[in-house]
Structure 1
Amino acid sequence: MMDSEQLLVAKLKETRHELARIVTDLHFKRHPELEQQYGDRGRQKCYEDSIYHFSYLEQAIRVSSNVLFSNYLDWARTMLKERGIPERDLIDNIELMKEAIQQKLPEDDAGKLVEFIDAGLDSLQSLPHRSKTFLNSGEPLVEEARIYLDLLLAGKRKKAADLIEELVEDVQSIKEIYEHIFQKTQYEVGALWQSIKISVAHEHYCTAATQLIMSGLYPRIFSMEKSDKKLVACSVADELHEMGIRMVSDFFEMDGWDTHYLGANMSDEHLIKLLNKNKPDILAISVTMPLHIDKAAQLIKKVRADEQTSKIKILVGGYPFGIVPDLWKKIGADASAKSAKEAIGIANEIILN
């Protein structure tokens, strides 16, 4: 039997398309000039944006976190600001969501949802507007990271690879290169894309180039002495972001674990078959998009329900777990880690319990 919160999530999921249509109609009714300016294409875009808003609201309610919703609003605010769209437009759209909910859903359900939205909006007001950078002066290898990123943004992958090779030849720790160059520059690329300073093509190029350069380090990484500890690592179904979990898997490999990296968008069924075959000590699951939190919860539930995999320790990580510290508990995992380095320490600890 579902509790009241999950029933509310189910109702929101069932009605979000109709709610998005109501929001779109209200928006264009109050701003008739938009019909002439944008026409059907504008209506479709407004509808799609509303679906996105409702989907994030659904996930936030699922895990009882208005902070998750307010962080999404902060992300949307930054995206719109960089595109010359005032914050007021976002707030107006969220207010229309509340009206649509009050029109469509029973009074009690609507009241709970409106209260949740208002809490998210209140939290948004306390989040400062700021330019985000992940390459801060004084941090280890920050100058090398800046040079590396500049080379990639200039399309000079070979020179970027040469820089990494020179650092390794100078006995620079591969773990430190991963942590302070690869990881930080990937975060920076995401921030640059969000602020439209680079295109999505630039973002994809930088990610693909870094993955290729990482592969060039594998002969060194996989030649390290191994223990009998096993890790299986993957992203949940429909999750296309894989750089983070790939770095985690490589860190475990450098720590002596026997790793099985399965990449992005792994189906639950194939994963469980592999778990039955390999019997790892740890299953590491990555979630980058908060919209996929429920997929992680469903996967963990399936792993726990299978007699042969039920005892495997499950470690989760990714963006939403940094926002909601106890999220891992809510979806049934054994622990969460904020970084690849932290993941190793936690994994070594929980397999002893």
Structure 2
Amino acid sequence: MNKPDHRSETFAEKLLLLDRFGAGQMLAQAADQETPLKAVERLVVPALEEIGKRWEQGSVALAEVYMSSRICEELADQILPPSSAERINRPKIGIALLDDYHALGKMIVCAALRASGYEIQDYGRLTAAELAERICRDSVSIILVSTLMLRSALQVKTLRELLDAAGSPAKIIVGGAPFRFDPELWQEVGADGTGNNAAEAVRAAARFVEELAQC
């Protein structure tokens, strides 16, 4: 991935001020200077990472994280439409809740991924068996699972077993309160990666996308 652009700090400030117009101008100018995808990688991704860090530190509210992600999603769609080759030609990525009703975390991560130039299949709320079936059916390469309850986090182990039994090579990235409280839990349930916030989830997905591109 490209090195972060120094302007990403200014871009992050505009997002937190809900300055959609100013942020849009910055992203459009960057897209004129290089490819739209590189502009997203240089401005949007590091800006969302910075906002995610501030949320972890308690200086930014969760609502600000969500609104920043949504603004970025809208702006990214303008310069990098969902039908563009840059999005379509990437590995298939899905996101879901495992029998969990708390959807805010999933919504934020989904917006952040789309804002970062990825097309995401949102599967909503499913059981482990239902999600495994859809991953195999749609040939999903990377699946992100958002949880709030421990019982939901533990179902990732069942998902892993079902995918292995079906011969699916899909990578599992997990996030949510149970995995923040227990830093080792993601490995115990058989996930391939984890993220404490939306920015870390994007970074984990990007790492697997790069690995798959080299295969």
Q: What TM bracket, shorter-length normalisation?
A: 0.5 to 0.7
Q: Which has the higher contact order (CA 8 A, sep 6+)?
A: 2
The CA deviation at 1:219 is: 2.2
Q: Distance in 2 between matches of 1:344 and 1:252?
A: 12
1:151 lines up with 2:7 in the alignment: no
Preserved CA contact (<8 Å) 2:48 2:112: no
Q: Distance in 2 between matches of 1:175 and 1:262?
A: 22
Match of 1:317 in 2: 173
SS in 1 for 2:85: coil
| Structure (1/2) with the larger helix percentage | 1
Match of 1:217 in 2: 79
Q: Distance in 2 between matches of 1:204 and 1:284?
A: 21
Counterpart mapping for 1:229-240 below 5 A: 231-237=92-98, 238=100, 240=104
The CA deviation at 1:150 is: 1.5
Gaps (5+ residues) in structure 2?
195-202
Cα RMSD over matched residues?
Answer: 3.8
The CA deviation at 1:312 is: 1.1
Q: Distance in 2 between matches of 1:285 and 1:225?
A: 18
Change (3 A) 1:331 1:214: same
1:346 lines up with 2:187 in the alignment: no
The CA deviation at 1:270 is: 4.6
Q: Distance in 1 between matches of 2:115 and 2:58?
A: 31
**Which amino acid in 2 is paired with 1:218?**
L
The CA deviation at 1:162 is: 1.7
Change (3 A) 1:298 1:245: farther
The CA deviation at 1:159 is: 1.6
Match of 2:157 in 1: 297
Between the two proteins, the alignment pairs up a number of residues equal to 194
Q: Distance in 1 between matches of 2:26 and 2:130?
A: 38
SS in 2 for 1:205: helix
**Which amino acid in 2 is paired with 1:163?**
M
1:285 lines up with 2:126 in the alignment: no
Gaps (5+ residues) in structure 1?
1-138, 254-258
Q: Distance in 2 between matches of 1:201 and 1:271?
A: 28
Q: Distance in 2 between matches of 1:251 and 1:202?
A: 17
Change (3 A) 1:270 1:249: farther
Preserved CA contact (<8 Å) 1:336 1:343: no
Preserved CA contact (<8 Å) 2:77 2:115: no
| Structure (1/2) with the larger strand percentage | 2
Q: Distance in 1 between matches of 2:117 and 2:19?
A: 30
Post-superposition CA distance 1:191-222 (Å, at most 9, x none) = 43444434443333222212222222332762
**Which amino acid in 1 is paired with 2:64?**
H
1:188 lines up with 2:50 in the alignment: yes
Change (3 A) 1:311 1:246: farther
Post-superposition CA distance 1:125-168 (Å, at most 9, x none) = xxxxxxxxxxxxxx631x31111121122221122112111101
Match of 1:140 in 2: 4
For the pair shown, the structure with the greater C-alpha radius of gyration is 1
Match of 2:190 in 1: 332
SS in 2 for 1:216: helix
Question: Kindly, what percent of the aligned residue pairs are identical?
Answer: 11
The CA deviation at 1:262 is: 2.4
Q: TM-score, normalised by structure 1?
A: 0.44
